[in-house]
Structure 1
Amino acid sequence: MTMYQNFDKSLERRFIRYAKIDTQSDPESPTCPSTEKQKKLGILLVKELLALGLTDAEIDDNGYVYATIPANTDKPVPVICFCSHMDTSPDCSGENVVPIIHSNYQGEDLILPDDRSIIIKLLEHKDLQHQIGHDIITASGTTLLGADNKAGIAEIMEAAAFLVKNPDIQHGVIKILFTPDEEIGRGVDKVDLNKLSADFAYTIDGETLGSIEDETFSADGATLTINGVSSHPGFAKGKMESAIKILAEVLVALPKDKLTPETTSGKEGFIHPVGVKGQVEQAEAQFIIRDFTDEKLAEHENLLKETVENVMKNYPNSTYNLNIAAQYRNMKQVLDQHPKIIEYGIEAIERAGVKAKKQSIRGGTDGSRLSFMGLPCPNIFAGEHAFHSKQEWVSVQDMEKAVQTIINIACIWEENS
């Protein structure tokens, strides 16, 4: 099989071209996409896909990009989709990104020139130990880089270009999907699965070289509203029950040495307050609740409810409302029914000369929701690290391995059909 080679540095040039476009999403916006600027990248990608000869490439009104690489085999092969998201996180600025290539990395701390207090330290970024001799791309110190998930987009685009230019490599129909608003949890809200018409998919949005993720958190959101009793503060004795203070008591009563993001790792879940607002009469807290099983998720929600009820016993004239809404579920529940997706993904990684590592995500991906919408979809590494921060970085050589993995997946499905 022909191996992908990044001879003319087209991969890093492609990635840098995408990284320079500000595509930050906005959780406060009700529109889809949440920011119009995401379409700027989508329009560029469609132009490049059309230039490759993918005649059906398009961007729809909601900012989703679709394209098809036609099959070049007579075999009936399942239709495989490769998916990445165009938006970058609202947590850190993505405006005026200046990507910098640190060639032939030799283990030094990377001091970013536009803010020299931003240092990517070898001791703090363990994966840098495996990057000696690689070319590392960072931003300049004032923004995130956007490798989450423009590394994935560049890798899919590079693999598409390679397959189009090498028609001797046989594959079935391949679908390409680029989504908006993944970072704010809306990445597949408006996806047209009929238009996509794929059997299985892979998101290219993982971190460490060789990782394939078949498991995510199961996730719920909770809104706790406390209805207190307001009174003029000069005449409040025996009357006022401040919703702000009641809510503060609830937050203080929740566990501190467990069930929090800062005290958990691996397969441990948490109850995490992410926003608070309020006045004396009414106060509100938003929570995210996470674990790997639905049973554990229910336990955490019961603990939250019990905590609230214990606090409320001291405030007889106040009431509360706890509203819990499902966000996404552990995609392993679906993927375990389709073992070939993971099996072929692992084989594709190892054919690229990389040891595959099956992992769980302490988070979610577009693939979580796609899996439950009828499109089973694990997550493959893109090489992105320290995402959502000014210390974000990616290795060109890791990205090359991701491109080869995508090509290998397409081949393996054809070979086994």
Structure 2
Amino acid sequence: MKYNNFVPVGQKRVSTSEGRENIVTNQLKISKEVIELQKLVAPEVNRLIEMRYNILSTISSEQPIGRRNLAFVLDMSERQVRNEIDFFQTEKLILVERQGVVITDAGKEILMKLKSLLYTYNGLEQLEKELLERLHLKRVMICPGDMDINYEVLRFMGRSGAKYVLSVMKGRDTLALTGGSAAAAVTDEMSEAFYPDVYVIPARGGIGKSHSTQANNVVAKMGLKLHSNYELLHLPDNIDHQLLEALQDYPEIKRVFDKMEEIDIFVFGLGRADVLAEWRSMSAAEKHKMLNEGAVGEAFGHYFNIDGQVICPSSAIGISIDNFKKIPHVIAVAGGISKADAIIGVSRVRKDIVLITDESAAREILEKLKTTL
């Protein structure tokens, strides 16, 4: 097999789409004076840009989608959606087919331009700086929009995560990933590369409820994209400790456990404590006790409060808090207003986390931090 399109070991290859995105970003550097002037005399322009960004990105992620469903997802009137569809169709940014509306290549390019434009218009660079300082983060990347409303925002977040992973990855690194939609988005958006000496491993037990975002499947897909080694962990997430002890010396399991002690890059999602406790079928008594003690978030099996203190250590196999604090590159991917407390909490577990989030979560976090002054 030829690898002419792959990066050399330890180096990042910039794909055609990434190169186009960088060009778009450079072309859309607008002076702050022009932006402030437009906000003052024509604030409706920004609202129109946001609306059309939301429509195009929703079409991109849900295509083919009918007008009625599009109106429902965006909470807009069918008449308003129909008018916008007519506009996009005239500009050849979409196609209206029998199955529904789909985005064209020209529409995809415009969508990237709108994303860059909104980054500037909405002051997300300043927002990133504020979060960086307030939460003592290593780096912050904010995508315009709200992933709870617009799934394409999660894809943009995944793309940012994938690019960051490639920017720090070295030839013999160990990359660990949790399951879940956030880590899956990073994997989905990863460019194909050639890292034959990298190891990709799951950060937790391997059996979950969702097949497509289950840790082993996320790891296998990432390993194939990077042309790297990968190990799977064929154990339930909540395996009995006595059974685990009996299996720890099994070669395939031992290799993963050993690799967990030498992780270089860790990509993980996080969630609300109450939601994850319900999802993991925690007993009502345990859930009540945990929430009464102030648990707000969950990450890689651990429940913590808003100050970053562990309320309920993981009862499952996976990365410990001590190991987590020693990993050189830790990348949290999470968005949505409801995740604000969880993001604040996990950022206080250790400093220098890389946070990839969306605009809605970033603004909610800063509002919450203001009330704690």
* TM-score, structure 2 normalization: 0.28
Instruction: Name the larger-Rg structure.
Output: 1
Higher helix share: 2
